[in-house]
Structure 1
Amino acid sequence: MLWETSGRFVDLSYKWIEGVNIMEKFTLEEVKTDEQIEALAALAKEIWTEHFTPMLEKGQVEYMLEKFQSPGPIREQLQEGYQYYFLKLDGELAGYTGFHAEEESLFLSKIYVRKAMRGKKIAKQAIEYMISLCRERHLHKIWLTVNRNNSIAIAAYEKMGFTKAYMKKADIGNGFYMDDYIMEKKLYA
């Protein structure tokens, strides 16, 4: 598969078989403008509220959104070297991802897909793009944090070759903790 990285858009056409052949166009759109940042924060609120509220207290979800995924913190992360992308399938907004390189690895900070778009291998395609970036940048692994109760995401990551490295409980303030697995996917040249 060829990866094209020209300008703000990355075009990755991907074909898979699930009973019938389906050809859908997957794209990543880099988040850079204030308008995009505002749209990203709104998308994060939609996805996190739906996905995490059954897993975490509503107050913790709201706190985490404000602390990590509101426009101000997103702008700060971009200034610190994070890259955010909208994930799109056939032009429709499907989710988003955020990551940054550190030393010899890529930290996959966020990858979230809207409920209606799950099961279409969108996260897998985004991770395949990240693997190609790692190879270009000579990075040796991708790592991420995932809530220990998020069994669906853990199973998906394992299917994509990630393994649990260790557990980590982090105090994020306001009496809340993130109780996560650190998962990693080692890459070889």
Structure 2
Amino acid sequence: MTATRARFEAVTQDSAPELAELAASIWREYWPAFLGTAQTEYMVEQFQSLPAIERDMREHAYEYWFIHAADDDRVVGYTGGHVEPETNRFFISKIYLLAAERGKHFASEVVRFYEGLCRERGLRAMYLTVNKGNELGVRAYNGNGFDVIDAVVTDIGHGFVMDDYIMEKSV
């Protein structure tokens, strides 16, 4: 068994502002190349801002975690999602890592974290959406046992769409 590379810290009301800052930083560094600046800024405001995070925690039972490196406890990214009781799955809404931390197997640690969470909660599977142009993400999820189960284009308003694969892993 491989050594644990990550530690997960639950985000609270008090630490939500720190999460929003981290999210904006990661999004503005990574996504403009895929989505353009206008859509990136729109998505940060709609889905990654402090009001969006607080809304999702309050109204949609989202849970968020900071991802820390086990060796020195630095924050390397964040993750979040929520249980879908109607499908008995966990929807992983977010797995985002700082640029300097990509390629260090933190995403694999996140998947193992969710596997444990799903088992603890008696969930049958976990799933996520990944941008079709995000080849790094698609490869990482395939390598961690996720399979593409669908492809969707979702209108998110203001003329923007998300063009994603839906990937699922049974637990």
TM-score over 0.5 (shorter chain): yes
Give the deviation of 1:25 after TM superposition.
Answer: 5.0
Match of 1:177 in 2: 161
Aligned residue type for 2:9 = E
Aligned residue type for 1:75 = E
Deviation digits for residues 33-83 of structure 1 (CA, Å, limit 9, x no counterpart): 33x111111111111111111011100000000001100110011112110
Alignment of 1:52-91 (within 5 A): 52-79=31-58, 80-89=60-69, 90-91=72-73
Aligned residue type for 1:95 = G
Partner secondary structure for residue 54 of structure 1: helix
Partner secondary structure for residue 33 of structure 2: coil
Equivalent residue in structure 1 for 2:148, among 164, 168, 174: 164
In 2, Cα distance between equivalents of 1:54 and 1:100: 28
Deviation digits for residues 7-49 of structure 1 (CA, Å, limit 9, x no counterpart): xxxxxxx52xxxxxxxx75211111033x11111111111111
Structure 1 residues without counterparts, runs of 5 or longer? 2-13, 16-23
Match of 2:81 in 1: 99
Q: Which has the higher helix share?
A: 2
Q: Which has the higher strand share?
A: 1
Deviation digits for residues 69-98 of structure 1 (CA, Å, limit 9, x no counterpart): 100110011112110000000210100000
1:48 is aligned to 2:30: no
In 1, Cα distance between equivalents of 2:128 and 2:110: 14
1:32 is aligned to 2:12: yes
Partner secondary structure for residue 33 of structure 1: coil
Deviation digits for residues 155-189 of structure 1 (CA, Å, limit 9, x no counterpart): 000000001111100100011000100000112xx
Rg: which structure is higher? Answer: 1
Identity of aligned residues (%): 42
Match of 1:7 in 2: none
Structure 2 residues without counterparts, runs of 5 or longer? none
1:149 is aligned to 2:133: yes
CA contact (8 A) 2:13 2:54 kept: no
Q: CA RMSD in A?
A: 1.3
In 2, Cα distance between equivalents of 1:151 and 1:127: 18
Q: Following superposition, which runs of at least 4 residues in structure 1 exceed 2 angstroms of deviation?
A: none
